[in-house]
Amino acid sequence: MKASGFTLIELLIVVAVIAILAGLLFVTLKPLQRFQDSRNAQRWADANALLSAIKLDQVDNGGSYHTNIAAMADNTYYHIGDASTGCNTTCLNPTVALQEACVDIYGFIDEGYLAELPLEPNNTDASEDHIGYYLYKYDTGQICVGACAEEQGSNSAAPTIEICR
């Protein structure tokens, strides 16, 4: 009587074929680009949340910006962070030249516009003192919030993540 089943060689061949197919699939899906796209999506959401909080505060204050935002010089980029500790003046986006001074918007947490300040998703140096996002105020009063560490992802170049209202 013969025992039925697979031989060791047959099992090893099947495992090798599955491993090769899994490796090809992994390379085809470009996981690094997917992670970069995911972090860029988080940056868009964070910038939108920050700008929404600023605009809600402006509406609640009869059209006036928060004191720290109103004090910003026009047409100038400011890192969002703790003004007492000083801010990082470097931004990976080459068109953004940050001031040494920060703009402090921690009041939006106390006032209930934000649960917490979002931190740049891929920056290990990001902290509550330096969150990795910037503010820009045009001389027309328009405010922009942007990210300093955009990644290329599946795009041909790193996108500029900036929302203005």
pLDDT digits (tens, 9 = 90+) for 146-157: 999 899 888 888
pTM beyond cutoff 0.85 = no
CB environment 134-152: b (16+ within 10 A), e (fewer): bbbbeeeeebbbbbbbbbe
Q: What are the angstrom distances between the C-alpha of 73 and each of 11, 20, 136, 146?
A: 70, 58, 9, 17
pLDDT tens-digit map of 97-149: 888 888 999 999 999 999 999 999 987 778 877 899 999 999 999 999 999 98
Structural tokens at position 68: 């720290």
Q: What are the angstrom distances between the C-alpha of 86 and each of 19, 80, 83, 91, 125?
A: 51, 10, 5, 15, 14
Extents of the domains making up the chain: 34-164
